[in-house]
Structure 1
């Protein structure tokens, strides 16, 4: 009996040791929610300091995470930009400079890599733009003939809607469908603040709002800009619904939430151009425990960086052909700078014939921490705005231009008969890109250095437009 009791005590003492010796299960990787607004330039969020807009829900993400002030998309157009977001690669490298092109089947996206590693993956909301465009029957026939629509095979859950209530239901349905033992990734796209502007109940007072510096101050310009800001304020409410649902389900602490614009707004010198309003977008990330709250990063970033960031946060290797850099180091060190330079391209837009620079324009830009060089390949053609050439405020400005009633600098920026082949800006002194330094004697060396950087990038990416530095003595 004594021996029996001794054995029991011995086993009781060994039991905790045996349990501790068992291999511990790995913690589940972070969930990922990627919220994309449509045509959203960086200044127009209240946490970015713009005084005429209220975005408390997006601001909450910034207060609880990190806000990036200099995130640049790889193009000022949705298809081209979203292709790089999905792949972590240059728009040129993956041959996606034509607006209606479907993403090639052999180009791997990060949701596919997440899915292969055990994530439940999905895309919902606004059209993701990477399966081509079926509104042209002849194009749809080609897609069907060669099986070019691939995204139904790339993710577990695929839904499309422009209606915000439907998007919320898709979001909730996705969360309901996610297996309990799996982490998830979901891209949620919104149409706001894309034209046509319909958020009438959310508009600020046109008479009192602050116009961007250098804009012509007319009644119609103010009304149009107020309508744009109204779209963003409506969007903010939709973002709040997503965040509240995440918290209600107890998923807030285990989920990385990223908010970003797909390209700049359809505004003066915005969408379709390589100026800041065309490619500098809001980018905010929150992950309690992983991201120190209330941080701000001023490093230059590329749309290519999102894919490697998501793979990194999931603990996955980053493929060598991804040219983007993970932003995870910045989650604790906002001074982290992944790039010395970033690049963007302007390609074909929409589906129309090349009758103006609305549908067809070619341009390249290189951006450093201080300078920016724009290469207008089709420099002989004047600027024509994307998505608002028929809007009343633009028609009114055009009439004022014809009558010589616009302020000289405004008239030259918007209605010059031709553009400069090269534009060089000191972004510290001239953040609005008003003073072109290209050709100025004191900046010749800087201009040449940037052209050389752009030349290298264009060669490596097999660019099809003429290189910015011609053979000596030949033009």
Structure 2
């Protein structure tokens, strides 16, 4: 009987037409929990041993973990725009950090709303209505009516305060009309800098530092503070999950946890390396997802939209280029994308004084190889969000004195980068051995460049193409 029910649920899930014929009350609720600057390795359920995340780990035990989930950019605005639309960052012209999402580009909450859902966005800024820090920018936003999200969802509130976020979440659920399914995005600021979760930090001496980082006292302290932010986040996620259960909504709610991009760590946020793009992605729904699964399907941020629309029984517009990951809910052989793409554009509102503020690069990768194309390769690496932190200042001092170990010195303080980087992701997961230009990867390098060239042409990329005449 259990197998029969599971079969029926899966058949309905994979057949939107049949699913759409069911009562709207049977449509699953959807909660999307978004952490900020969160690289994939740093959760207990992802195998990082020195972090305590019991609530997120339990969510994973009851659902599915996507080990190879990647954002379409290592920056919040660009990445979130793709998640919100199911379309890549170039396609929707969202490569400038402070750009508002154009009204002509449909977001999936709008489609869910039309399909009968009560919809909301709350918590940490969703970043897609432009930025109001500069008065001249605010004048433009208001003059042309570019802040559009108040018209796209039923409920829109933002806050960086943890208690206020939970209050907004409770307020939203209290307003959902009886019998109506809901979608809500709950955003958190953790583990974004500034790190201030003092009561949640692990012992800096008892944590594992990634092998491609210089292991210094100050770096350990900074990294422990980052892990503390994640442990604090776990407690907040636990409150949401507990409340959902108390309301009796947990059995028909698809709960999704994802990071918006990688952490502000060495070779993380702002870079196209794994720590910048690979984020945690966990999904749970007791009726649709077989518990305890781990998949290495190659998944992109653009896949959220078609997945949500599919489980809601709604049509997926042809403009959406993501794919539904619903087949992975019961099928361990689902492979995801053959290749995934990501872009790096301007960051923040600062002038282009370094590669933190302004960098232009593209990447294509599969499970085996990654190609990075640095269009302005002459500019050296400059960290995003932590250039003034004591651990980085200390590393710069060691570099200037010639006391930093050579592998780290070359990795972090080279005068310029290579235009192309190729990495064997299986043999070199920390991406430290650039194989570009070698006989070993000659054919695969050309294939990756060719595929990237096609993608850039189709999406009207403004960068020079990677294959010269």
TM-score (norm 1): 0.94
Render the CA deviation track for 1:398-448: whole Å, top value 9, x for unaligned.
000000011101001100000010000010111110111101112100100
User: What's 1:171 paired with?
Assistant: 169
Provide the secondary structure at the position in 1 that maps to 2:205.
coil
**1:114 matched to 2:112:** yes
Shift of 1:299: 1.2
Provide the secondary structure at the position in 1 that maps to 2:255.
strand
Tell me, yes or no, if the aligned pair for 2:24 and 2:180 is still in contact at 8 Å: no
User: What's 2:363 paired with?
Assistant: 365
Tell me, yes or no, if the aligned pair for 2:124 and 2:159 is still in contact at 8 Å: yes
User: 1: distance between equivalents of 2:238 and 2:251?
Assistant: 16
Equivalences for residues 10-409 of structure 1 within 5 A = 25=23, 27-409=25-407
Render the CA deviation track for 1:443-464: whole Å, top value 9, x for unaligned.
1001000000100110111000
- Mark the CA change 1:405 to 1:321 in structure 2 (over 3 Å): closer, same or farther: same
Shift of 1:24: 8.2
User: What's 2:461 paired with?
Assistant: 463
User: What's 2:7 paired with?
Assistant: none
Shift of 1:27: 4.8
Render the CA deviation track for 1:79-103: whole Å, top value 9, x for unaligned.
0000000000010000000000000
User: What's 2:443 paired with?
Assistant: 445
Render the CA deviation track for 1:298-325: whole Å, top value 9, x for unaligned.
0111000001100001000111110100
Provide the secondary structure at the position in 1 that maps to 2:298.
strand
Tell me, yes or no, if the aligned pair for 2:118 and 2:181 is still in contact at 8 Å: yes
Tell me, yes or no, if the aligned pair for 2:25 and 2:179 is still in contact at 8 Å: no
- Mark the CA change 1:382 to 1:183 in structure 2 (over 3 Å): closer, same or farther: same
Provide the secondary structure at the position in 1 that maps to 2:279.
strand
User: 2: distance between equivalents of 1:208 and 1:386?
Assistant: 26
Render the CA deviation track for 1:31-56: whole Å, top value 9, x for unaligned.
00000000000000010000110100
User: 1: distance between equivalents of 2:82 and 2:23?
Assistant: 35
Structure 2 unaligned runs (5+)? Answer: 1-20
User: 1: distance between equivalents of 2:22 and 2:410?
Assistant: 67
Tell me, yes or no, if the aligned pair for 1:298 and 1:335 is still in contact at 8 Å: no
User: Which of the pair has more CA radius of gyration?
Assistant: 1
Tell me, yes or no, if the aligned pair for 1:92 and 1:463 is still in contact at 8 Å: yes
Provide the secondary structure at the position in 1 that maps to 2:101.
coil
Render the CA deviation track for 1:116-159: whole Å, top value 9, x for unaligned.
11100000000000000011000000000000000000000000
User: 2: distance between equivalents of 1:262 and 1:188?
Assistant: 12
User: 2: distance between equivalents of 1:446 and 1:95?
Assistant: 29
User: 2: distance between equivalents of 1:107 and 1:365?
Assistant: 24
Shift of 1:210: 0.6
User: 2: distance between equivalents of 1:442 and 1:205?
Assistant: 42
User: What's 1:19 paired with?
Assistant: none
Shift of 1:25: 4.6
**1:420 matched to 2:418:** yes
Shift of 1:114: 0.3
Tell me, yes or no, if the aligned pair for 1:122 and 1:186 is still in contact at 8 Å: yes
Shift of 1:26: 5.7
Number of residue pairs the alignment of both structures matches: 449
Provide the secondary structure at the position in 2 that maps to 1:135.
coil
Provide the secondary structure at the position in 2 that maps to 1:451.
helix
Shift of 1:257: 0.1
Shift of 1:289: 1.3
User: 2: distance between equivalents of 1:108 and 1:26?
Assistant: 22
